[in-house]
């Protein structure tokens, strides 16, 4: 796209989750009811990103494009604020979800990437620097923990 269209916005993100579709958070919520022990990778680091937060980012940028002729086109990063591991994200999911219903889960076991082979090779550190999107569009990332809690409440049908 960059080669053919000078005026573009590309937003890169990481570890996306939300109320709809398949994602890590929903998988953990399902597995807590099905398994006593869950093994989760603990040596990969990244920034969980709520689909709701990403939608708001896209709408904010679209609004600024409509209202301004001074847009800094290009590629931007956006993800939840803060870095964590898949293991710590799973712990947070279960902590927030624990308020809702009984679960079968007794233990979360941290494992290494090498012990969880996947077809795609995953980077050990995939955190993104979101300073450019904040500097050019005034968009500040919300802490991933806060967004995660809101998403789990939404999945479980709880309104605040």
Domains of the chain from N-terminus onward: 9-155 (3.40.50.720)
Question: pLDDT tens across 119-148, in order?
Answer: 888 889 999 999 999 999 999 999 999 999
Question: pLDDT tens across 36-79, in order?
Answer: 999 999 999 999 999 999 999 999 999 999 999 899 999 999 99
Contact 81, 150 (CB under 8 A): no
Compute the distance between CA of residue 95 and CA of residue 101 in angstroms, rounded to an integer.
12
Contact 17, 24 (CB under 8 A): yes
Q: Note the pTM of the prediction, 2 decimals.
A: 0.92
Q: Which of 4, 7, 41, 3 is nearest to 24 (CA)?
A: 41
């Amino acid at each position: 796209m960059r080669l053919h269209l000078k005026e573009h916005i590309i937003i890169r993100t990481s570890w996306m989750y939300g109320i709809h579709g398949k994602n890590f958070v929903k998988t953990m919520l399902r597995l807590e009811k099905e398994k006593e022990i869950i093994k989760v990778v603990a040596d990969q680091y990244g920034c969980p990103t709520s689909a709701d937060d990403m939608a708001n980012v896209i709408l904010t940028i679209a609004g600024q494009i409509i209202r301004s002729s001074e847009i800094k086109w290009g590629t931007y990063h956006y993800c939840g604020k803060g870095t964590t591991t898949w293991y710590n994200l799973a712990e947070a999911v279960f902590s927030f979800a624990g308020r809702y219903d009984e679960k079968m889960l007794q233990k979360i076991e941290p494992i290494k990437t090498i012990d969880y082979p996947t077809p795609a090779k995953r980077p050990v550190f995939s955190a993104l620097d979101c300073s450019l999107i904040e500097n050019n569009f005034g968009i500040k990332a919300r802490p991933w923990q806060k967004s995660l809690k809101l998403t789990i409440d939404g999945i479980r049908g709880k309104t605040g």
